[in-house]
């Protein structure tokens, strides 16, 4: 009974060799990284959603694009929808002023706007997915790292039992049971990583879908805005030559 009571996590750490301690350290680092990514990206996601909702409410209630531009100039860009709007407005103004001065600006204004919007969408998608690969890797590999530690521990336990010449159940069950601790640690590291990855992936997918819909509406709005202005100019009696 005294020997059985001394078994446990502390005894496992004290009796483990260099390989087991290295594997345990790897699992500890993986756990720290996964929890950091989950907490950091989770908080960023909540803050991003709040700022995005606030900007969209302002954008659709603004009286003109100039008001939106002034808001972005004064307060800066702090979320994906504002980032997309700022680059789109800048691209429209740049093309109207300089035209197709470089190869990347070739084509009509709408084509240049489309390329700019696609570029910004790719940048935002990359930023949202940053770190998720590491989270998925931890969730997929942590159980196997723990399993390797268990196999290594069981091997050394059986070798020690064989050398001692004692095959009693109490001599076998204790060391083998301690070796299973590594599998439990591996699962404890993997489960939060997998759950966090699924949660963040779904949140990013929802935000990306909203951003794609807003990009389409923004492109349509910017393209039609000039046509509406031209229509008002014609209605006011401006000569056709003055309306391009």
Could you list the residue range(s) of the whole structural domain that residue 218 is in? Answer: 2-66+133-227
Within-domain flag for 208: yes
119 belongs to a structural domain: no
Report which of residues 78 and 240 the model is more confident about.
Answer: 78
Structure tokens at 145: 């790292």
pLDDT, tens only, 140-193: 999 999 999 888 878 777 776 777 666 565 566 666 777 788 889 999 999 999
Instruction: Provide the domain count of the chain.
Output: 1
**233 in a structural domain:** no
86 belongs to a structural domain:
no
Yes or no: say if 80 and 54 are a contact pair by the CB < 8 Å rule: no
Quick: pLDDT tens for 19-39: 888 888 999 999 999 999 999
Count of CB atoms situated within 10 Å of the CB of 92:
20
Whether the predicted pLDDT of 235 surpasses 80: no
Mean pLDDT of the chain: 79
Residues 6 or more apart whose Cβ sits within 8 Å of residue 131:
37, 40, 41
Let me know if residue 85 belongs to a domain. no
For tokens 């949140």, the residue is 203
């Amino acid at each position: 009974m005294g020997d059985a009571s001394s078994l446990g996590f502390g005894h496992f750490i004290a009796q483990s060799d260099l390989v087991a301690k290295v594997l345990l350290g790897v699992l500890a680092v993986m756990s720290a990284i996964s929890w950091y990514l989950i907490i950091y990206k989770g908080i960023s996601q909540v803050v991003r959603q709040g700022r995005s909702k606030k900007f969209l409410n302002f954008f659709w209630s603004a009286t003109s694009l100039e008001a939106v531009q002034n808001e972005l100039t004064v307060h800066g860009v702090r979320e994906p929808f504002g980032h997309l709007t700022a680059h789109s407005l800048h691209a429209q103004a740049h093309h109207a002023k300089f035209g197709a001065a470089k190869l990347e600006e070739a084509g009509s204004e709408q084509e240049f706007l489309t390329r700019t919007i696609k570029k910004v969408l790719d940048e935002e998608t990359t930023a949202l997915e940053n770190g998720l690969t590491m989270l998925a890797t931890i969730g997929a590999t942590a159980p196997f790292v723990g399993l390797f530690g268990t196999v290594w521990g069981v091997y050394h336990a059986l070798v020690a039992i064989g050398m001692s010449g004692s095959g009693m159940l109490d001599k076998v069950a204790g060391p083998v049971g301690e070796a299973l601790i590594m599998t439990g640690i591996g699962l404890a590291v993997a489960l939060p990583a997998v759950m966090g990855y699924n949660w963040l992936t779904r949140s990013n997918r929802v935000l990306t879908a909203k951003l794609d819909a807003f990009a389409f509406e923004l492109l349509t709005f910017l393209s039609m805005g000039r046509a509406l202005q031209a229509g008002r100019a014609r209605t006011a009696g401006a000569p056709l030559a003055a309306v391009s």
